[in-house]
Structure 1
Amino acid sequence: MVAAYRLRTLAGADADITVFDPADRLGGILRTERIAGQPMDIGAEAYVVRRPEVPALLAELGLAGRQISTTGVRPTIYSQGRLHPLPADTVNGIPTSAASVTGLVDDATIAQMAAEPSRPMPWRPGSDPAVGAVVADRFGAQVVARSVDPMLSGVYAGSAATIGIRSAVPTVAAALDAGATSLTDAGRRALPGSTQGPVFGAIDGGYQVLLDALVAHSRLQWVQTSIQHIGRDGTGWSLRDDDGRQWGADGVIVAVPAARLAPLMADIAPTAGAAAARIPVASAAVLALAVPGGTPLPAQSGVLVATGERLHTKAITLSTRKWGSRGNAELLRLSFGRFGDDLARATSDAELQNWALADVLTVFGIAVDPVDVRVHRWLDAMPQYSPGHRELAAELRAELPPTLALAGNYLDGIGVPACVGVAGRAAEAVVAATIRR
């Protein structure tokens, strides 16, 4: 959607811009539903406000006034069968002091963390080990399971064992490259200059507001089908859809999940296709739950679940507490599914709902009576940024023809701001190459 909008701004009013998407609506993993009469995002729900891409895009589209911030309530971590405050001053779950995880980890781990700055830091600049391996070595396994894993499970549906440090905490890796003498030192250097103010923002009315604006401003043509083959046609491209129809194009942006890329690239960029096939993916299911207004949920934004706990969910968002009340019901989101399991595919809606109600009772001690429920499954939608992902992304792009570009959450970051950025760069590259041709 962003690529289509950027193509319009760059190529002008006369360009024909076609989006091929077989889904029931446009927007990919941005999906707004009405739950108990309220708009609620059941794909991505927020963006990092300290990155400029989304606020800048909203301002361009005349939507700056639709940005909303969190209420300021804090999340918690469910570990050892109870709730703990989220440690302060962490970098994607990596603590910057032993004191911040007191009560979350045992005394031996606290002692290991306190002594960590005095240990030699073996680090090779430019390396990209799994973040879990680094944190376990420096701070201990409990910090990984109870602080880092809960964060990365929410972002990637993965774990610290499967995500490279340069993807999970690029600022920490950069600090180590620059000579930080310990992980504690690197974490402190990586903290933002000001930790005041909200980290996340959202859109009043949900991401559908943004999607509608992108459609209107891009004036795209939506063809509700998928492309099965891309081939050269002279200096341009020929695309074949599900029904065998052929479409011509001067330039193409391929914005599909990583798992779909390989067959599309087979004839035109096989090395890129082979690289995409090496990106592991996870699936997740989101259950949106509306319960009666006045249900005594705690004043917190939600719960991240530590590794090894006897819950089915990996995270619970208390959406009404996080973003503020806009209706007569309390809204919650529960996320299920991690890298390596088949839960999102194999579990029925009814079973997910039973798990959700049981987990809410276990975590909060509250038996809730739903007034509305919605389930959506995101299959193979969560790429795992394994160690060495940056080099893999470069390999994906290395042999692409000039008038063909890639966009998607498997390239430069899984969050909405990163996806906005990569789509804009893809559009710029294709338009520039088309003009040169």
Structure 2
Amino acid sequence: MNADTTAPHVVVAGGGITGLAAAHRLALAGHRVTLLEADGRLGGKLLAGEVAGAPVDLGAESLLARRPEAVALARAVGLGDRLQAPATTTASVWSRGDLVPMPKGHVMGVPGDARAVEGLLSEEGVRRIAADPDLPPTVIGDDVAIGAYVAARMGPEVVDRLVEPLLGGVYAGDAHRISMRAAVPALFEAARAHPTLTDAVRAVQRAGAAVPADAAGAATGLGGSVFAGVEGGVGTLPGAVAGAVRAAGGEIVPNTPVTALRRTGATGWQVVAGDRVLTADAVLLATPAGPAAALLAEHAPAAASGLGAIEYASMALVTLAFRRADVSLPAGSGFLVPPVDGRTIKASTFSSQKWRWVADAAPDLFVLRTSVGRHGEEEQLRREDADLVDASLEDLAAAVGLAARPVATVVTRWAGGLPQYPVGHLARVARVREAVAALPGLRIAGAAYDGVGIPACIASAHRAADEIAGALTGGTPGRADEIIATSETAPPGAGHSS
């Protein structure tokens, strides 16, 4: 399809899943779209690769299926028949040298019943949680660090042994700095409305139980599965979205970083990218906070200042392939590691047990991966590949008795991979958005704002794209909504595949 040369031209800066999702939405709505990516590869933190010839994800490996955005986009670009629920979701916590089954009945590590964490916590830790209903209500202001709040109500042990490896692992951060309002908004609102944290957790659980499996998950055969994978890897999603953007007439230009923005008239923009200068009716910045801050410094200094203050965590993924005959591991999808125990790895995923497509593609191999590094541990990424592999093997031997040597390994470093959401994050984002909104024809989107998960990034992209489309069409972005709704409810396999 050739783009309508008379249609408004939108430049999207950033070719991660956020930028691609925004370009896809705008292109389907009939806008001329040019996506500029600084790197030679699209996809950002989504990366499909291989180890010993076996296809694997070397970045994000699953989609939150309870939110519709990622599953719907995968279906819209032809990956519907490749969506898979995990073969197992049973996980453990490697705590104090023992593998303990992951407790049930919690909200991101915060239990609604002290009995749920028996076996993971000490008797004193369990008693401390059970005492929460007897404590006077805690008054919560505009925001609070989830680690500090939970420790005050239920004791520090549940934070160290469960909240840190779960919620802290999602953000590769410190639960004592993570904003409860930003990271677990449902629990934050419930905690403000209920006298005890136990009551708040149970209220969130009741609300979740009352919501049926989302339509997107049910329509793809995922049922009520919380997570979904993609056969061949979640890392294949960017290529499929890029193919759909091009098919809709959009242009995608890799190896082309945006270096400057210039205002042209009341609403237009010039986008400087290498030796190219593009004239645009609107610009959507889908870059990390730092590059966005640099581009906004002249036009919205308050927004640039807020974005420049956002910190990022770096981490590494160590993917290992073993001869299947040499490996005998516990059942389940893997385990989490409390940072308080001082181990090198923070988690391990047994990929060949978690994903059928991994096992089917390499039946003679067993693939697993470990994660290393969190916010403030950037020195981990400076270690040699061989050192990270050896450290992972040492911890795996101690955790699950793995004595085999891998036949192949891949170390993937994600420098500045995950934005941190400290207390006050949402207020900062609101101030940034207010400053950006004063610039006609410019919007921002990405993991730095409304959530680090893939569905949250896609939702952020759609929000920004719809605001731009609405402004360009006089406040009536209905065509975009209608076209995308049609494409996202197409039969599995329809559309474009990678």
| Identity level (%) | 38
Higher RCO (Cα < 8 Å, 6 or more apart): 2
- 8 Å Cα contact 1:42/1:333 also seen in 2: no
Q: What are the equivalent positions in structure 2 for 1:32-47 lying under 5 Å apart? A: 32-47=48-63
Aligned pair partner of 1:4 in 19, 23, 28: 23
Tell me if the contact between 1:237 and 1:248 (Cα under 8 Å) persists in the aligned partners: yes
- Measured after TM superposition, the shift of residue 429 of structure 1 is 1.1
Q: How many residues align?
A: 431
Aligned to 2:482: none
Q: Does the 8 A contact of 2:43 with 2:239 survive in 1?
A: no
Q: Specify the SS of the correspondent of 2:209.
A: coil
Deviations 1:178-211 (A, max 9, x none): x212101101111220699432111111124322
CA contact (8 A) 1:53 1:417 kept: yes
1:50 offset after TM fit, Å? 1.0
One-letter code aligned to 2:110: I
Q: Determine helix, strand or coil for the equivalent of 1:358.
A: helix
**5+ unaligned residues in a row in structure 1: which ranges?**
none
- Give distance in 1, aligned partners of 2:51 and 2:40: 18
Partner Cα distance (2:97, 2:127) in 1: 23
Deviations along 1:365-401, whole A, 9 cap, x unmatched?
Answer: 1112212211111111211111111111111110222
Does residue 1:322 correspond to 2:354, yes or no? yes
Match of 1:65 in 2: 81
* Counterpart-to-counterpart distance in 2, 1:47 and 1:275: 29
Aligned with 1:183 (options 177, 182, 197): 197
Query: SS of the counterpart of 1:88?
Result: coil
With the length of structure 1 as denominator, give the TM-score of the two structures.
Answer: 0.95
The worse-fitting range, judged by mean Cα deviation, of 36-45 and 299-308 is 36-45
Quick one: distance in 2 between partners of 1:262 and 1:89?
Answer: 41
* Selected match of 1:250 from 276, 281, 284: 281
State how far apart, in whole Å, the 2-side matches of 1:149 and 1:208 are: 27
What residue is the counterpart of 2:321 in the other structure? 290
Q: Is the 8 A contact 1:284 1:377 kept in 2?
A: yes
Q: String of CA shifts for 1:197-236, please: whole Å, max 9, x gaps.
A: 4321111111243222211211132222211111212231
Aligned AA for 1:419? C
**Closer/same/farther in 2, CA of residues 208 and 366 from structure 1, 3 Å limit:** closer
1:407 is matched with 445
Q: Is the 8 A contact 1:32 1:206 kept in 2?
A: yes
In structure 2, C-alpha distance between the alignment counterparts of 1:190 and 1:68, rounded to whole Å: 27
The reply to whether residue 222 of structure 1 matches residue 252 of structure 2 is: yes
- Whichever residue aligns with residue 227 of structure 2, its letter is F
Match of 1:110 in 2: 126
Instruction: Give the structure 1 partner of residue 397 of structure 2.
Output: 361
Q: CA deviation at 1:56?
A: 1.9
How far did residue 73 of structure 1 move?
A: 4.1
Distance in structure 2 (CA, Å) of the matches to 1:21 and 1:344? 28
Q: Secondary structure at the match of 1:176?
A: helix
Corresponding letter in the other structure for 1:417? P
Quote the Cα distance in structure 2 between the aligned partners of 1:345 and 1:307.
17
Contact 1:402–1:429 (8 Å) recurs in 2: no
- Segment drifting more, 202-211 vs 330-339: 202-211
CA distance in 1, matches of 2:339, 2:78: 42
CA deviation vs aligned residue, 1:72-102 (integer Å, no higher than 9, x gap): 3411111112111111111111111111111
Does structure 1 retain, via aligned residues, the 8 Å contact 2:131–2:154? Answer: no
- CA gap of 1:73–1:173, structure 2 versus 1, over 3 A, is closer
Summarize the alignment of residues 64-213 of structure 1 with structure 2, pairs less than 5 Å apart. Answer: 64-124=80-140, 127-177=142-192, 179-191=193-205, 192-193=208-209, 197-213=224-240
Distance in 1 (alpha carbons) for counterparts of 2:39 and 2:406: 28
Q: Is the 8 A contact 1:402 1:430 kept in 2?
A: no
Describe the SS at the equivalent of 2:449.
Answer: coil
**Greater helix content:** 2
Say what the alpha-carbon RMSD is for the aligned residues: 1.7
Residue 263 of structure 1 aligns with which residue?
294
Matched residue SS, 1:17: strand
Q: Match for 2:238: what amino acid?
A: L
CA distance in 2, matches of 1:260, 1:339: 20
Residue number in structure 2 paired with 1:307: 339
CA distance in 2: counterparts of 1:406 and 1:337, whole angstroms: 28
Match of 2:216 in 1: none
Q: CA deviation at 1:428?
A: 1.0
1:50 corresponds to which letter in structure 2? R
What amino acid sits opposite 1:426 in the alignment? A
Q: Distance in 2 between matches of 1:402 and 1:66?
A: 40
Counterpart for residue 372 of structure 1 = 408
Q: Residue 341 of structure 2 aligns to a residue in which SS?
A: coil
Q: For residue 281 of structure 1, what is the aligned residue in structure 2?
A: 312
Alignment match of 1:236 (pick from 255, 268, 274): 268
| Alpha carbons 1:253, 1:406 under 8 Å: kept | yes
Gaps of 5+ in 2: 1-19, 214-223, 476-498
- Cα shift readout 1:326-379 (whole Å, capped 9, x = no counterpart): 212111111111111213431121211111111111111111221221111111
Which residue type is aligned with residue 343 of structure 1? Answer: E
Q: Is the Cα contact below 8 Å between 2:179 and 2:424 reproduced in 1?
A: yes
1:382 has 2:418 as partner: yes
Q: CA deviation at 1:152?
A: 2.1
How far apart in 2 are the matches of 1:73 and 1:63? 22
The secondary structure found in structure 2 opposite 1:331 is strand
Question: Is this contact kept in 1: 2:419–2:452, CA < 8 A?
Answer: yes
Name the amino acid aligned to 2:226.
V
